[in-house]
């Protein structure tokens, strides 16, 4: 989130009095669709797109894509995104894995759920049965790969 705060209270009040405020709060999907227009790395783009449902909407920005790309030479870019931007709840993981076309079978989804959360099939089953299953997501494509 961008913030602005500085100086004394009267200075702040003077600026706020003259300002035009616009509420801009795009969803992760809107940010992802915008990145498709200008971003260039398909691996990073697809990884973020495959995990939109568990990305913390307060943290994702266009900078996320660039930061991940800059970390690719170090080889830790996927963990960087997961550690910094993913939500942590079991429910978020189940939702993301159920709608991710990369995980076709229940066994694949449970294995990834276990790898990410440290919890097994029973925990996955509880969350799976407590929600309705959305359709599979279709991937966005980069405009200029």
What is the tens place of the pLDDT at every residue in 44-99?
A: 999 899 888 788 888 899 999 999 999 999 988 888 888 888 876 777 778 777 77
Q: Is residue 20 part of a domain?
A: no
Q: Is residue 21 part of a domain?
A: no
Q: CA 85 to CA 70: how far, in whole Å?
A: 16
pLDDT at residue 84 in the model:
86
Among candidate residues 82, 41, 87, 83, the one with its CA nearest the CA of residue 65: 41
Residue with tokens 């790395």: 41
- Residues 94 and 128: beta-carbon distance below 8 Å: yes
Structurally, how many domains does the chain consist of?
Answer: 1
pLDDT, mean over the chain: 82
Q: Is residue 22 part of a domain?
A: no
Q: Quick one: 60 exposed, middle or buried, by C-beta within 10 A (0-12, 13-18, 19+)?
A: buried
Q: Is residue 11 part of a domain?
A: no
Provide the domain limits for residue 82: 28-129
């Amino acid at each position: 989130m961008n913030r602005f705060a500085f100086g004394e209270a009267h200075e702040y009040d003077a600026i706020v009095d003259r300002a035009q405020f616009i509420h801009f709060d795009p969803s992760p999907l809107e940010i992802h669709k915008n990145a498709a227009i200008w971003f260039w790395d398909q691996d990073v783009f697809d990884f973020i797109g495959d995990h939109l449902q568990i990305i913390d909407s307060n943290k994702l920005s266009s900078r996320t894509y660039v930061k991940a790309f800059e970390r690719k030479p170090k080889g830790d870019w996927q963990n960087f995104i997961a550690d910094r931007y993913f939500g942590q709840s079991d429910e978020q993981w189940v939702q993301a894995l159920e709608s991710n076309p990369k995980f076709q079978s229940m066994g694949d989804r449970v294995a990834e759920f276990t790898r990410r959360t440290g919890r097994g099939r029973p925990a996955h089953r509880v969350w799976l049965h407590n929600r309705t299953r959305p359709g599979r997501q279709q991937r966005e494509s980069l405009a200029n790969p």
